[in-house]
Amino acid sequence: MGRKAKFSLDTKVKKGPGRKAKKQGEPEIPNHLTDGGKIEKPLSRRQKQRALKRAKKHADLAEKRKLARKSVKQQSIIKEPEVSCDSNVDSEEEFDHESTGFTDGNQSWLKPVTRKKGKQLLESDGEENHSHSEASVEGEGDQSDQEQMTLDEDEDYKVETLDDLNQNDDVESGEESNNNDECDAADSDDEVSDQQESDNNNSSNESGGIDNDDDLLPVERAAKKLRIKQKQDEKFAEEELKMNVADKDVFTFPSESEPEEPVGLQEVQRRIRDVVAVLSDFKKLRAEDRSRSEYIELLQKDLCTYYSYNRFLMERLMQLFPLSELLEFLEASEVQRPLTIRANSLKTRRRDLAQALINRGVNLDPVGKWTKVGLVIYSSAVPIGATPEYLAGHYIIQGAASLLPVMALAPQENERILDVCAAPGGKSSHIAAVMKNTGVLFANDVNEDRIKAVVGNFHRLGIVNSVISSYDGRKFSTVMKGFDRVLLDAPCSGTGVVAKDPSVKTSKDETDVTRCFTLQRQLLLEAIDCLKANSSTGGYLVYSTCSVLPEENEWVIDYALKKRDVKLVPTGLDFGTEGFTNYRHHRFHPTMKLTRRFYPHTHNMDGFFVAKLKKFSNNIREANVEKVETSDT
């Protein structure tokens, strides 16, 4: 048995049906499976229980209505309907009148649905409405058969299917539960539970008339539960918010009888927050018998207690920062700044150094776009100060803020540059790397013990163009002059590096600050005298400190502007906060905005100040020296 041969192209052989091509006959479906069978699905066990429950409930309601009618007949005083109980009596009468049309004993669970014929006319006369309401109250149980017959003529009664009756009963049970909450507590509990069951099955009732959660898909059932839970959570959150607003305490100034010091740090922190809130809107939240100075004094006392500062330094910081920024500065000063390193461009590139350290288990990133040699270290499996790369001089551990003065100085090749306060050599080595070991770098420091660290770092980093000296910076002009550029990283109080040295909080007082800015003025004037004003490439001086106090920064620069022929020029740094042109009652030179300030809470680096000066004349203003000194004192 194969395919039929095709002997010629002209004659076409007709294909036979074949065994597999035979068509099956139409299937015969039994009559009871088609729509003509009309077999009703029996009620489930749960539906039967609910039907019995409703029948029992209606029977109980009928007894209560009879008792209520007897009590109303006995009372001669008819009251106006005040609560929803009277509306229940009206609904009870309607139910009795409508159920009188049935005599087969099914009135406990069957309810005729009324449909009015024609349009319902609106009654505009208020007196007719009033008389109708009175008739509904007074005519309980006294309506005649003739009135009942007229109602039967006006209304068309029709008994619907059992499923429709279940729907109507569910709706009635929900309405009765809403109306009988205040009248009967026991009935309300049963009806609310019944209403919850009917709500859970609303979707199934609307689709097929079956009152069961089993008809819902698992996804729909889960979505319904989720919506109910969300509504409950929103309600609880709103109630909790109202409670929090109601229970919010208003700060009251402590009286003299109360203890001066709070019990613990948490109470101190809470009071600091409250006082700051009062000072932010002082006119509205202040106490009538308290002044702003009293609130500020209380805040200063609490800040000294919480952050362990002395009163002098805290007072200066409160004068320097607004209250909101002050708290941020104090919090940032309690946290160590990220560890940063500087790649030595004389021996390696930053990319190669980063790859080598990553291979040793160091997690690092570039410091930022503003520098091409800085790397920040997040974590390390090896000591950063003992790696082979460190010993070979490929990098040096240096703070990110220490890179800024050298960037502002912008040294050029084949220049003569002086670093007045060079120890321990981080900035000096950076200058030598930028100069590419050309020219001459003079690294000076008055402390001979710290000079040893400069020598060690220069040997390790491969710097060969340096001259290391140990002279007093206040007299260096007597030794050598004529430098193209000078860097003065002056000694200061260290208020910008509290995270490195927490002893600054309590050890610095007004005497220390006065001693510091006096020394800074002398060093700055001497460094200006060492500059060569007619230098072809330079004549620039960079002054920097690790302090945030204006006494050590803007005051010193303003003093130099009055004593020497110098001017402020842009630092070349793209970020940072502008310097102060006025501070409290002091007024500085308008060009002071060219200087730059850096804060730990703003730039995530040590507090720093950088100013760049250009010398345009070698003249010294001796005539005004005594006058300026007397005015400053």
Please give the positions annotated as active site: 546
DSSP, residue by residue, 240-292: HHHHHHHHPPPP-PPPTTS-SS-SSHHHHHHHHHHHHHHHHTHHHHS-TT--H
Task: List CB contacts of 364: < 8 A, sequence separation 6 or more.
Answer: 354, 357, 358, 375, 376, 377, 378
Residue 116 in tokens? 């009015």
Task: Please name the helix (run of DSSP H) or strand (run of DSSP E) that holds residue 342, with its range, or none.
Answer: strand 339-343
Task: Choose among 201, 208, 244: nearest CA to 224.
Answer: 201
- Flag whether 187 is marked binding: no
Asked if residue 330 lies in contact with residue 303, where contact means CB atoms within 8 angstroms, the answer is yes
- Flag whether 35 is marked binding: no
- Flag whether 374 is marked binding: no
Task: Choose among 491, 496, 613, 626: nearest CA to 549.
Answer: 496
Task: Choose among 536, 576, 607: nearest CA to 407.
Answer: 576
- Flag whether 16 is marked binding: no
> How many angstroms separate the CA atoms of 333 and 449, rounded?
29
Asked if residue 432 lies in contact with residue 463, where contact means CB atoms within 8 angstroms, the answer is yes
- Flag whether 423 is marked binding: yes
Residue 193 in tokens? 């539970």
Strand stretches in 136-250, DSSP E: 155-158
- Flag whether 426 is marked binding: yes
- Flag whether 287 is marked binding: no
- Flag whether 472 is marked binding: yes
> How many angstroms separate the CA atoms of 486 and 523, rounded?
11
> How many angstroms separate the CA atoms of 447 and 452, rounded?
9
- In Å, what is the CA distance from 227 to each residue of 108, 171, 436? 36, 22, 71
Amino acid in the structure at residue 24: Q
Residue 404 in tokens? 């800024």
- Flag whether 445 is marked binding: yes
> How many angstroms separate the CA atoms of 492 and 460, rounded?
28
> How many angstroms separate the CA atoms of 612 and 130, rounded?
94
- Flag whether 392 is marked binding: no
Output Rg (C-alpha) for the chain, integer angstroms: 47
> How many angstroms separate the CA atoms of 119 and 103, rounded?
31
Binding site members for S-adenosyl-L-methionine: 421-427, 445, 472, 489
Q: Which residues are annotated as a binding site?
A: 421-427, 445, 472, 489
